[in-house]
Amino acid sequence: MNTNDIWLIAGLGNPEPKYDGTRHNAGFAALDYLAGKWGISVSKTKFQGLWGQGEVDGHKVVLLKPLTYMNLSGDSIGPLAGFFKIPADHVIVLCDDITQDPGKLRIRPSGSAGGHNGLKSIIARLGGENFPRIRIGVGAKPRPDYDLADWVLGRFPPDDAKALADRCPDIAAAAKLIMDGKLGLAQSKYNG
């Protein structure tokens, strides 16, 4: 294993139990899946988050669930990345995306926050947009006048929850491809 090959995968969400199963917690749900699949206990408390570390196919991996609430996700991710000396391009963020249908994935090597306050916070704390992200579709608001906060803090109906759960193996596979330096392949195979 290359000792410099360390990755941080952060799943975004809100920490209180009342937010479990909400659209905004799609990142937490995906991270929980990765932790289970890869046998990494995400139970240490530091850096304003729950985290754990392990090895995945020769890559040293730190999994993180920021407990700062969505809009301040960078306040957890920035210090943890700094502590482990993880460069921004080795920080993979899993987050919800209201522009994609439930369960659809949008994998990008970098980019703007696109109106997502969690990504905006991470960009500010990492000092740029150069970090890969796997955006997880949660569906668009049903009407333009529907309150966005009410939508993202609402729970998934059963069909949408199943669509998200069904994509978790693809999220894990895409994250491994990104760590292997094959982000383009992850995009062509799993976007959409």
Residue 70 is part of which domain span? 6-190
The dihedral built from the CA positions of residue 100, 173, 124 and 69, taken in this order, carries a sign that is positive
What is the sign, positive or negative, of the torsion defined by CA atoms of 72, 138, 165, 178? negative
The annotated binding site for tRNA is made up of 19, 69, 71, 117
Residue 125 lies in a domain: yes
Q: How high is the pLDDT of residue 192?
A: 86
Separation between Cα atoms, residue 184 and residue 10, nearest integer Å? 20
Q: What are the pLDDT digits (tens) for 52-83?
A: 999 999 999 999 999 999 999 999 999 999 99
Active site residues: 24
Would residue 1 count as lying in a domain?
no
Residue 10's φ and ψ, nearest 5 degrees, are: -115, 125
Confidence of residue 2 (pLDDT cuts 50, 70, 90): very low
Average pLDDT of the chain is: 96
3-class DSSP state of 15: coil
The rounded distance, in Å, linking the Cα atoms of 174 and 192 is 12
In a domain, 100, yes or no: yes
Q: pLDDT tens, 145-176?
A: 999 999 999 999 999 999 999 999 999 999 99
Tell me how many domains the chain contains: 1
Annotated binding site: 19, 69, 71, 117
pLDDT at 98 over 50: yes
Percent over 70 (pLDDT), the chain: 98
The residue-averaged pLDDT of 100-112 equals 96
51: domain CATH number is: 3.40.50.1470
